[in-house]
């Protein structure tokens, strides 16, 4: 057994033991209940929501594909999958999206599914889910579908976080 197959076997045992949360590198750490730390904001609280933004998932696109928010705002994203296939909705900076995409490709190759995280939700056809996020820094963020091939085919969105407040 080489190093890679040992790592794969370890990952599989961990996933099979339940409570699986995958590691997204430097930006987050969701393993074993440790508080996640994100470079681009923080999970929002339902009681603090400033406004709701509805997002519809189509075959390989989001509608709308760009949203504008203000620093300090807490947004409730209400996401509906109106397409006949599964999609992911991940909020993050470019680095986080790329890491998540690579991680998801690995997991899908191993036959695993992806559980929801504070900044990422997976929706089956017809499903509706909410994700509440507090945007704490101005800048450009993204919301991408990181199922292999989807973002690459245009299933991406931009979040413009203005400096106000």
Kindly state the tokens that stand for 1: 């057994």
> Does 145 help bind Cu ion (rule: CB under 5 A)?
yes
> Does 121 help bind Cu ion (rule: CB under 5 A)?
no
Say how far apart CA 75 and CA 53 lie, in whole Å: 7
> Does 104 help bind Cu ion (rule: CB under 5 A)?
no
Q: Where are the beta strands (DSSP E) in 22-127?
A: 42-43, 51-57, 62-63, 66-70, 74-81, 87-92, 120-123
120 vs 147 by CB, closer to Cu ion: 147
Residues contacting residue 165 through CB under 8 Å, at least 6 positions apart? 70, 71, 72, 73
The minimum distance between CB 150 and Cu ion, in angstroms, equals 3
Residues contacting residue 147 through CB under 8 Å, at least 6 positions apart? 86, 87, 88, 104, 108
Residue from 55, 122, 132, 155 binding Cu ion (CB under 5 A): 155
> Does 87 help bind Cu ion (rule: CB under 5 A)?
yes
The minimum distance between CB 161 and Cu ion, in angstroms, equals 23
122 vs 161 by CB, closer to Cu ion: 122
According to DSSP, the β-strands at 74-81 and 87-92 are unpaired
Number of residues that bind Cu ion (CB under 5 A): 5
> Does 101 help bind Cu ion (rule: CB under 5 A)?
no
Residue from 22, 101, 134, 150 binding Cu ion (CB under 5 A): 150
> Does 156 help bind Cu ion (rule: CB under 5 A)?
no
Say how far apart CA 23 and CA 15 lie, in whole Å: 12
Residue from 147, 156, 159, 161 binding Cu ion (CB under 5 A): 147
Binding site for Cu ion (CB under 5 A): 87, 145, 147, 150, 155
């Amino acid at each position: 057994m080489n190093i890679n197959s040992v790592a794969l076997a370890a990952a599989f045992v961990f996933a099979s033991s339940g409570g699986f949360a995958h590691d997204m590198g430097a930006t987050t750490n969701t393993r074993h209940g440790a508080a996640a730390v994100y470079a681009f904001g923080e999970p929002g609280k339902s009681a603090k929501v400033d406004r709701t933004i509805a997002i519809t998932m189509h075959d390989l696109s989001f509608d709308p594909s760009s949203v504008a928010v203000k620093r300090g705002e807490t947004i409730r994203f209400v996401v509906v999958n109106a397409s006949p296939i599964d999609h992911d909705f991940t909020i993050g900076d470019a680095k986080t999206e790329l890491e998540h995409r690579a991680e998801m490709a690995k997991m899908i190759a191993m036959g695993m599914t992806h559980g929801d995280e504070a900044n990422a939700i997976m929706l089956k056809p017809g499903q509706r889910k909410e994700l509440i996020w507090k945007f704490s820094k101005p800048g450009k963020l993204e919301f991408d579908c990181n199922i292999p091939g989807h973002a690459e085919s245009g299933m991406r969105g931009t979040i413009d976080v203005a400096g106000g407040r």
